[in-house]
């Protein structure tokens, strides 16, 4: 059955991988690897929504669906319109999703739309930072020395050596044509490696390195638990969920039962391949709105269920439509 992405993948981790490149409080930019393991380790892709999901088809709480369908920022503006305005605007969105213009939305078309919405943050975040490093020239390429200087300053101290080495390793992996420069597309892979297939092994390696405090090349149970719960150092009694995590480590994470996680086991943990959140949300929306069970949604079926797709409120659909011209 369909379940919330956060609990599906991260219930045993409690952490969320959001690899953002926000600027630090220093005078230089924040490098891609200046992200704590607590923010990095949980998963390989941003969830469709951080909200809980109600699986009851009769329930009227569809906030998760609204965020998955419209995006977080747009869904927060729902209260700005009446139900009538919302329905009218939703009709324009449906026309955009219906790429072949046959009057029906297929599961593939819905999948493409939700996938686009889910990855909008990655695109916008990468472009914003690329423009910063390239002085606003989107068709330019960034060289390593320019990036390093802007991020670490002209004279980085010895305490940044390890971080710079890791940045350089990621830079080289993202540089697909090996010309030493990163285009916008390559920089997107560099900034958000969890979204690029050829970068995901590196995500697992970086995560392992973050948690491997004793430097033995693996994550033992103490390191696994220690990154989630620091109560042991303060003498706090161990809560029930920590014991559940210990059980999860032993029964699920440690596949070969050697008492520690190697790179393959870390990859299986943070980059699971057996769950596609976009596919799950697409099928869920169809199960709610495809009343004639013909495997496609007419515009009327979607509008009749606008409470599922857009709620009784609305969003800034004009901005959404302008942003989605590339679909």
pLDDT over 70 (residue 72): no
Classify residue 227 by its DSSP letter.
T
pLDDT over 90 (residue 175): yes
Residue 68 is predicted with a pLDDT of 64
Strand residue runs (E) in the chain: 104-106, 142-143, 181-182, 219-220, 260-261, 296-298
Residue 93 is predicted with a pLDDT of 87
Mean pLDDT of 255-275: 91
| Half-sphere exposure (Cβ direction) of 44: Cα atoms closer than 13 Å | 27
SS3 79: strand
Lowest mean pLDDT, pick from 43-52, 63-72, 228-237: 43-52
pLDDT band (50, 70, 90) for residue 62: low
Q: Which residue has the higher pLDDT, 236 or 67?
A: 236
CA–CA separation, 279 vs 127, rounded Å?
27
Mean pLDDT, the chain, rounded, equals 76
Mean pLDDT of 83-95: 82
Residue 233 is predicted with a pLDDT of 72
| Half-sphere exposure (Cβ direction) of 172: Cα atoms closer than 13 Å | 5
Residue 312 is predicted with a pLDDT of 39
Q: To 10 degrees, the CA torsion angle through 70, 124, 270, 211?
A: -140
Q: Which two tokens stand for residue 109?
A: 């078309």
260-261 and 142-143 beta bridge pairing: unpaired
SS3 260: strand
Longest Cα–Cα distance of the chain, Å, equals 66
Residue 73 is predicted with a pLDDT of 55
């Amino acid at each position: 059955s369909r379940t919330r992405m956060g609990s599906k993948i991260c219930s045993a981790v409690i952490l969320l991988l959001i690899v953002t490149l926000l600027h630090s409080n220093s005078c230089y930019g924040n490098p891609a690897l200046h992200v704590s393991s607590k923010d990095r380790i949980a998963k390989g892709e941003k969830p469709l929504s951080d909200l809980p999901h109600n699986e009851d088809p009769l329930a009227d709480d569809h906030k998760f669906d609204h965020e998955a369908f419209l995006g977080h920022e747009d869904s927060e503006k729902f209260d700005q319109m009446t139900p009538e305005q919302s329905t009218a605007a939703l009709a324009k969105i449906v026309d955009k999703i219906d790429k072949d213009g046959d009057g029906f939305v297929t599961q593939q078309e819905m999948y493409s739309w939700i996938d686009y919405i889910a990855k909008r943050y990655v695109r916008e975040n990468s472009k914003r930072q690329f423009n910063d490093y390239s002085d606003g020239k989107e068709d330019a390429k960034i060289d390593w020395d320019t990036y390093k200087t802007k991020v670490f300053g002209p004279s980085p101290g010895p305490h940044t050596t390890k971080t710079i080495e890791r940045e350089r390793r990621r830079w080289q992996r993202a540089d697909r044509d090996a010309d030493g420069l990163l285009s916008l597309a390559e920089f997107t892979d560099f900034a958000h490696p969890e979204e690029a297939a050829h970068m995901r092994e590196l995500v697992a390696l970086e995560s392992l390195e973050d948690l491997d405090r004793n430097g033995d090349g693996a994550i033992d149970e103490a390191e696994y638990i220690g990154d989630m719960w620091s109560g042991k150092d303060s003498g706090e009694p161990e809560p029930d969920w920590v014991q559940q995590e210990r059980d999860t480590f032993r029964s699920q994470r440690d596949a070969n039962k050697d008492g520690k996680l190697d790179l393959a086991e870390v990859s299986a943990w943070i980059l699971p391949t057996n769950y596609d959140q976009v596919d799950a949300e697409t099928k869920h929306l169809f199960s709610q709105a495809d009343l004639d069970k013909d495997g496609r949604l007419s515009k009327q079926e979607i509008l009749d269920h606008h409470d599922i797709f857009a709620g009784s409120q609305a969003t800034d659909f004009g901005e959404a439509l302008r942003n989605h011209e590339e679909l």
